[in-house]
Structure 1
């Protein structure tokens, strides 16, 4: 049976529909200026994650709360993060981003890091937010790796297991094995090399200092030329998986689509160069709690549209509409977008 889905409202500008153009364009757009405060949230195992809270924060502890989980080697500086956080904050939501372990300003303390299926830190954060703001409506969003992680967490916890009103999943590699294969093909290898280099830069010094329990030498790390090879040699053994295949199977959230009970919006582009076309035709049918919106074009976390003479991130518009549905602030999102378009930097 075919998976139920609907077309998104995204329309790429004429001449800018190419998936690689869409994927790379956000890096060239101005980004909103944001003021933030940082907090190290201590974790049960002795490590920590860095939280970035957007300022000014709402005065009321009952203000709605938006939490964002970034992608592989992403951060507060990622273009999508700045736009999504700016949009939510501009609409009066208390907004924050959780950096995965080692993705903030400081390296994490333990040998382990983070991976696509590691839901424990996000669960701990949401529990802490529930303790601090028990009466606030809360919505979480995850982008790319963060989207796979968030969907897996939502599926694992059921409808009442998290203090969340809903989840938003953007450009998530819900079949990790298929995504690793796709990234090793054609022009997508440019993205694979970029991600690999970022991962290697972070792990190489720790490996050289003998901090990691890996039977891997520095010269072997340097020779790894695929994400699958990296996951075989580093991600899997660091986090208790037999190998990359075991990691991909157990960490992929797509196989859990039939378990989702929390209202969840999934946004996906069928031309995403990080994933095979027709991704959702190979996955289980989602539950009725899932609204799946697929665009013909959009690339990977791209979705850049034209507004008058300007290019702008459609994802910010879509997030604003979604948040407005939760709080009834239908007029607030456009003024928030206009403010940030007029006050942005590079």
Structure 2
């Protein structure tokens, strides 16, 4: 069987034309309800940690389960979490086997404070779902302990994060959403893991760079990729790696690294060698999820706007490239994780509504 194909459009407003406007406006100016989380820290087997932000019935960022008002934790001030989880919090999660839950894997340099994470969490939480947002290493507002960080093909870390959230609420019906880089990792995990070992009812990848070679070239070689998007990502990525270089002398050639200007150069000098790849091309080739879409066995939505400035239209898959468990939705507009809709000033409800409809109907 081949994938089902949906070309219906996002209700993009007429006053927001073009891929760059749709992307940038969605990330900076479109409206959503800001929320706070309860944070859990999980230790990894290699001596590092993963921070997971939680929202949903029974979890209250401003008070404990017994209704005692709690002060915000000062060390979380620059994050979307308000306090650390307490043992009693987990006892107050719903235990009904029909409880709906979703884990959201964020994108490159994202977090639970990202516009899409906030909009999706608010939408599902308001409908009684439990939401968990694990942070990739170094993205939670805290420096991770290791010389390594994260990469787009790290299905081992994703599997660990998924098992950790499911263990907190084992009776729930778990779903997963991966956005951008997180979408690639999630789809690669789904396509390389036996269905019997995947603790999910359904999944979705949003604005996913399925072909990392095509997308990496787009972000490294195009004018907007180099001067706009690449600069934005590299501003935090370079700072984090240079901080690691102080803790791990000899980790990288600091002089050479300080002069990089593209994501290809960043992945050549740091991401690839630090995570077991020869260079950026080897990393992009081996970590791409496109080749394994045909092996996905659980219901999965793959949503990509055809005008995504990060993802060349020609790199998007067709039905023959995917298994029958996949629904490809490729609207003409939406930009990269933009999907703004409504009258001015616009809002971000279309994306979470689309995800909820898929999880409820698989359509």
Quick one: structure 1 residues 119 and 57, their matched pair in 2 at CA, closer, same or farther if it must change by over 3 Å?
A: farther
Quick one: structure 1 residues 267 and 212, their matched pair in 2 at CA, closer, same or farther if it must change by over 3 Å?
A: farther
Q: Which residue of 1 aligns with 2:194?
A: 158
Q: Which residue of 2 aligns with 1:21?
A: 21
Query: Comparing 162-171 with 180-189, which one deviates more in the overlay?
Result: 180-189
Q: Which residue of 1 aligns with 2:230?
A: 192
Instruction: Encode CA deviations 1:37-81: one digit per residue, 9 max, x unaligned.
Output: 111111121211100011543742232111000000001111001
Q: Which residue of 1 aligns with 2:261?
A: 225
Q: C-alpha displacement at 1:165, in angstroms?
A: 0.5
Structure 2: distance between partners of 1:186 and 1:228: 14
Instruction: Give the secondary-structure state (helix, strand or coil) at the position aligned to 2:131.
Output: strand
Instruction: Encode CA deviations 1:231-279: one digit per residue, 9 max, x unaligned.
Output: 0000011101111111111111111111111110011011110021222
**Aligned alpha-carbon RMSD (Å):** 2.0
Paired residues for 1:130-209 under 5 Å: 130-183=166-219, 184-189=221-226, 190-207=228-245, 209=246
Structure 1: distance between partners of 2:47 and 2:131: 25
Q: C-alpha displacement at 1:133, in angstroms?
A: 2.4
Unaligned stretches of 5+ residues in structure 1 = 327-346
Paired residues for 1:170-319 under 5 Å: 170-183=206-219, 184-189=221-226, 190-207=228-245, 209-211=246-248, 214-217=251-254, 219-281=255-317, 285-306=321-342, 308=343, 310-313=345-348, 314-319=350-355
Q: Is the 8 A contact 1:38 1:52 kept in 2?
A: yes
Q: Is the 8 A contact 1:254 1:283 kept in 2?
A: no
Structure 1: distance between partners of 2:216 and 2:46: 30
TM-score by length of 1: 0.88
Q: Is the 8 A contact 1:260 1:290 kept in 2?
A: yes
Instruction: Encode CA deviations 1:272-292: one digit per residue, 9 max, x unaligned.
Output: 100212222589610000000
Q: Is the 8 A contact 1:68 1:97 kept in 2?
A: yes
Quick one: structure 1 residues 166 and 75, their matched pair in 2 at CA, closer, same or farther if it must change by over 3 Å?
A: same
Instruction: Encode CA deviations 1:193-244: one digit per residue, 9 max, x unaligned.
Output: 111122101111221x151653412x21121111111100000111011111
Structure 2: distance between partners of 1:303 and 1:212: 43
Q: C-alpha displacement at 1:163, in angstroms?
A: 0.5
Q: Is the 8 A contact 1:34 1:55 kept in 2?
A: no
Structure 2: distance between partners of 1:87 and 1:45: 35
Structure 2: distance between partners of 1:322 and 1:86: 17
TM-score by length of 2: 0.84
How many equivalent pairs are there? 322
Quick one: structure 1 residues 271 and 309, their matched pair in 2 at CA, closer, same or farther if it must change by over 3 Å?
A: closer
Quick one: structure 1 residues 150 and 17, their matched pair in 2 at CA, closer, same or farther if it must change by over 3 Å?
A: same
Q: Is the 8 A contact 1:88 1:323 kept in 2?
A: no
Structure 1: distance between partners of 2:196 and 2:209: 25
Structure 1: distance between partners of 2:265 and 2:249: 17
Quick one: structure 1 residues 179 and 188, their matched pair in 2 at CA, closer, same or farther if it must change by over 3 Å?
A: same
Paired residues for 1:101-120 under 5 Å: 101-120=137-156
Q: Is the 8 A contact 1:188 1:274 kept in 2?
A: yes
Q: Is the 8 A contact 1:111 1:212 kept in 2?
A: no
Q: C-alpha displacement at 1:112, in angstroms?
A: 0.8
